[in-house]
Structure 1
Amino acid sequence: MIRVLFVCLGNICRSPMAEAYFRDLVKKKGLADQFDIDSAGIGNWHEGKPPYIGTRDKLDEAGISYEGMTARQIKHADLDAFDYIITMDHQNYQDVMTLREQAPTAKVFNYMDVVDGDLEEVPDPYHTGKFDETFELIELGAHQLLTDILKESK
């Protein structure tokens, strides 16, 4: 089982969008039984809440389910439980790496590391309102991410 965790600041916009998109992609490729996919936030402000309305609207528009998804905060145990922890921006990466010092198993990297282009971070649509841009970046990276993970897991 390949375990993938997406992480953003509050776990209501970017990381649940990435979780839902990646889960849908893996399912369409017939690989759902090989993956465990989740998301978490650095903070606990939104714990227990569903994805933000802008995220839900983009996922609905794309026909991608987010059923049952609720925000949660990343835990130390996640760094040993997951094989890949993918952060949405540099601050999320630094925060996870601080946690990682105590639980060093997971491979941690920034989502934009797998996307060709000039952007280094997935912009937070909670602040920008640009859910279309965020969705496009998630879409661009998901296919390459899946290819990279499958290559590495062989």
Structure 2
Amino acid sequence: MLRILFVCTGNLCRSPMAQYMLMDRLAELGVEDVRVKSAGFIAQNGAPACPRGVALTALQGTDMARHRAQMLTRSLLEWADQIIVMEKRHLRLAHDMAPNEGWKMSLFSKFLEGKENMDVPDPYGREEKDYMTTLAMIREGVHNLAMEIAGKKPGDAQLA
């Protein structure tokens, strides 16, 4: 079983968007042997996902209303087979937290064509257009990651 961990700052917007969108996309592709979690460096355990993010992902067909934030821990980093972070600084922080797990860490933008070394902007507390920009990046990256996991080329299926 493949275990994927998405990491952002507060585990309220970006990483849960990626988590729930990936779970949905993998289900659409018939992939069952993947476990997906998310966490944040300064998460308040049990906090709900940001309302605007919940609403906008729902419009994309993904329900993340049940999400509750969790703080990133060393044990979560050790649990994961693949750790995908939203910002370059998250790579450094995660590596500091669990240096032996660094080999399985990557930027989310690795899955964005032509944007491989970019941070995914944090929309928390910003305008709807900022959420839409971030959501579009996450949607594209999740699609490409899901296709990779399913053993297909990203162009084999359209973005859902």
Q: TM-score range by the shorter chain?
A: 0.7 to 0.9
What is the count of residue pairs matched by the alignment?
148
Q: Structure 1 length normalisation: TM-score?
A: 0.88
Mark the runs of 5 or more structure 2 residues left unpaired by the alignment.
Answer: 152-160
**Which residue number in structure 2 is paired with residue 86 of structure 1?**
84
Aligned AA for 1:82?
Answer: A
Pairwise CA distance, 1:147: 3.1
- The residue number in structure 2 matching 1:71 is 69
Q: Identity of paired residues, percent?
A: 28
TM-fit CA distance, 1:148: 3.1
1:150 is displaced (CA, Å) by 4.5
Equivalences for residues 79-118 of structure 1 within 5 A: 79-101=77-99, 103-104=100-101, 107-118=104-115
After TM superposition, the structure 1 stretch with the greater mean CA deviation from structure 2, 55-64 or 10-19, is: 55-64
Cα distance change, pair 106–76 in 1 and its aligned pair in 2 (3 A): farther
1:21 is matched with 21
Contact 2:109 2:119 in 1 (8 A): yes
Aligned to 1:55: 53
Which consecutive segments of 4 or more residues in structure 1 shift more than 4 A? none
What's the CA shift for 1:39? Answer: 0.5
How far apart in 1 are the matches of 2:125 and 2:67?
Answer: 21
Report the counterpart of residue 38 of structure 2 in structure 1. Answer: 39
Deviation of 1:146 after TM superposition, in Å, equals 2.2
Distance 1:106 1:82, change over 3 A: farther
CA contact (8 A) 2:7 2:86 kept: yes
How far off is 1:3 after superposition? 0.5
Deviations 1:64-110 (A, max 9, x none): 12143100011111122110110001111111111121x42761000
Alpha-carbon separation, structure 2, partners of 1:105 and 1:94: 9
- Distance, in Å, in 1 between the alignment partners of 2:135 and 2:67 is 17
Distance in 2 between residues matched to 1:55 and 1:18, nearest whole Å: 11
Q: 1:35 to 1:146 in 2, by over 3 A?
A: same
1:124 pairs, out of 113, 122, 125, with 122
The gaps in structure 1 that reach 5 residues or longer are none
